[in-house]
Amino acid sequence: MRKQIAAANWKMNLTYQQGEELLDEILSAGVKLNEHQQAIFAVPSPYLLMTRSTVEEELNYFASAQNCYNKKSGAYTGEVSAEMLNSINIKYCVLGHSERREYFIESNAMLAEKVNLCLENFVTPIFCCGEPLAIREAGTQNEFVATQLKESLFHLPAEKIKTLIIAYEPIWAIGTGKTATTEQAQEIHKYLRSVLADQYGEEVANEIPILYGGSVKANNAKELFASPDVDGGLVGGASLVAADFVEIIKALK
């Protein structure tokens, strides 16, 4: 079975102490994951080591960065490289979140460079795609997300792309409480998988987890994750509340 993943994206929230407390509460719920399930915590950079050492005792719980830079190293004050993440044993990094694309003007080409640097440094990208409201209203969301994949990922050989995690996050559903319906999520996830299959074949496409993000909550996760092409979620707001995120982990197939 393809990996099923509950990924928390804390964004720029919580103090260090609140983060520690949240992780302790989540872990004390004692949810055991099987071999195809994972819980991943994308936390602010200063909390990466604490998060890694807190969750690494539990099978299939991991820490993730929220971003890294598109250069190997050098005079880029304030930035974090993929090599640095690897050097502290952080194995995941969210790339191309819509907030980064919007506020930090990250282009598909820049994200392709970040993807390469992560892979060279043994860091698995959690690659985000998703359309804004105007594109959804115009009905051109499929072309929009296919272009994001093509321009940032399709230079990769099959053996590399099949190690990635993709997250589909419609921008109109992020932090708005407006979730894509289960049908909308399944439809576009199935489409994304077909785009991957056209390029790399069905076997490769079937190995890549595609997470849904955008107002995933404790009360809608089970229904969303039940769809055949939805392999879990990338969760913002609800990942900041221990009881809610525990329910979301439990909702994994």
Using the minimum distance from each CB to ligand 13P, give the nearer residue, 145 or 200: 145
Q: What residues contact 166, with CB distance under 8 A and at least 6 apart?
A: 126, 127, 128, 129, 149, 192, 208, 209, 210, 211
Q: Of 4, 5, 6, 9, which one interacts with ligand 13P (CB under 6 A)?
A: 9
Alpha-carbon gap, residue 239 to 248, rounded angstroms: 8
Q: Is 129 in the site for ligand 13P (CB under 6 A)?
A: no
167, burial (CB in 10 Å: exposed 0-12, middle 13-18, buried 19+): buried
Q: Of 213, 229, 231, 245, which one interacts with ligand 13P (CB under 6 A)?
A: 213
Beta carbon of residue 175, minimum distance to ligand 13P (angstroms, whole number): 4
Q: Is 106 in the site for ligand 13P (CB under 6 A)?
A: no
Beta carbon of residue 160, minimum distance to ligand 13P (angstroms, whole number): 23
Alpha helices, DSSP H, located in the chain: 16-28, 48-55, 82-87, 98-103, 108-120, 133-138, 141-153, 158-161, 182-200, 202-205, 221-225, 242-250
Reported as half-sphere exposure (CB side, CA atoms, 13 A), residue 252 has a value of: 29
Total of chain residues touching ligand 13P, rule CB under 6 A:
14
Q: Of 23, 115, 235, 252, which one interacts with ligand 13P (CB under 6 A)?
A: 235
Site for ligand 13P in 173-192 (CB under 6 A): 174-175
Q: Is 169 in the site for ligand 13P (CB under 6 A)?
A: yes
Q: Is 236 in the site for ligand 13P (CB under 6 A)?
A: yes
Beta carbon of residue 35, minimum distance to ligand 13P (angstroms, whole number): 25
HEC profile of 98-160 = HHHHHHCCCCHHHHHHHHHHHHHCCCEEEEEECCCHHHHHHCCHHHHHHHHHHHHHCCCCHHH
Per CB under 6 A, the segment of 112-120, 143-151, 203-211, 232-240 that binds ligand 13P is 232-240
Annotation says 189 is catalytic? no
Q: Is 5 in the site for ligand 13P (CB under 6 A)?
A: no
Among residues 97, 106, 131, 189, the one annotated as catalytic is 97
Alpha-carbon gap, residue 63 to 56, rounded angstroms: 8
Among residues 99, 106, 131, 169, the one annotated as catalytic is 169
Site for ligand 13P in 23-62 (CB under 6 A): none
Strand partners, 95: 127
Residues that bind ligand 13P (CB under 6 A): 9, 97, 169, 174-175, 213-216, 234-238
Catalytic sites, residue numbers? 97, 169
